[in-house]
Amino acid sequence: MENCLFCKIVNKEIPTSFVAENGELVAFDDIRPKAPAHVLILPKAHVLSVKEADEKLSGKLITLAKKIAEEKGLEGYKLIFNVGPKGGQVVEHLHLHLVGGWNEAPKKVEI
């Protein structure tokens, strides 16, 4: 896609250090991290959002996220897909957020 930020990153038009790369996927650190570790994992092919993804692609994204989390030594983490503008998706290219690396677990809420 011509004006897609993530396609430009995939095509190396915008210099980025990849955390991981294989034939179908790339992963790189978010430039505005929301946690000590915040990695974006996305397909090289332009896929708009989760709505267009099949089970195989979704599984590959999650599997790569798990591998990266293990390599980074993350004991706990979140995997987040934002779907569409009303779901918080800012870049219209499917991407999975891997966020973690906090020193403490959140406090449990008692009811």
> Which residues are marked as active site?
95
Burial of 52 (0-12, 13-18, 19+ CB in 10 A): exposed
Tokens of 91: 């870049």
Distance CA 111, CA 94 (A): 37
Instruction: Give the residue from 52, 101, 40 showing the smallest Cα distance to 74.
Output: 101
